[in-house]
Amino acid sequence: MKACKIGILGATGAVGQEMLKVLEEYQIPVSELRPLASARSAGGCVRFCGRDVKIQEATDDSFGGLDFVLGAVEGDMSQRFAPAIKKSGAVYIDNSSAFRLDPEVPLVVPEINGEDAFANKGVIANPNCCTIIALMAVAGIARLSPIDNMVVCTYQAVSGAGQNGIRELEGQMSAIAAGEKPEVKTFAAQIALNVIPFIDAPYGNDYTKEEMKMQNEGRRILHAPELKVNCTCVRVPVMRSHSIAVTLRTQRKVPVEEAKSALRAFPGVRLIEDYQGRCYPTPLDTTDQDLVWVGRIREDLTDDRGLTLWCCGDQIRKGAASNAVQILRLLAERG
Q: Quick: pLDDT tens for 260-286.
A: 999 999 999 999 999 999 999 999 999
Predicted model pTM: 0.97
Q: Is 223 a known active-site residue?
A: no
Distances (CA, A) of 316 to 21, 122, 225, 292, 324: 11, 24, 28, 12, 11
% of the chain beyond a pLDDT of 70:
100
CA pair distance 174, 94, nearest whole angstrom: 36
What is the residue-averaged pLDDT of the chain? 97
Over residues 11-31, the mean pLDDT reads 96
Over residues 6-14, the mean pLDDT reads 96
Statement: residue 1 has pLDDT above 90: no
From first CA to last CA, the distance across the chain in angstroms is 7
Over residues 32-59, the mean pLDDT reads 96
Q: 4, 242, 311, 312: which one is catalytic?
A: 242
Going by the DSSP 8-state scheme, the letter that residue 34 receives in this structure is E
Tens of pLDDT, residue by residue over 288-335, are 999 999 999 999 999 999 999 999 999 999 999 999 999 999 999 987
CA pair distance 323, 314, nearest whole angstrom: 11
Helix (H) or strand (E) holding 46: strand 45-48
pLDDT at 335: 79
Neighbouring CB atoms inside 10 A of 265's CB total 11
Domains, the chain, in order of start with CATH, read: 4-127+320-333 (3.40.50.720), 131-315 (3.30.360.10)
Q: 4, 129, 130, 231: which one is catalytic?
A: 129
Tens of pLDDT, residue by residue over 46-94, are 999 999 999 999 999 999 999 999 999 999 999 999 999 999 999 999 9
Over residues 113-138, the mean pLDDT reads 98
CB 232 within 8 A of CB 130: no
Position 125: which residue type? A
Mapped to the 3 state alphabet, what secondary structure does 234-268 carry?
A: EECCCCCCEEEEEEEEECCCCCHHHHHHHHHHCCC
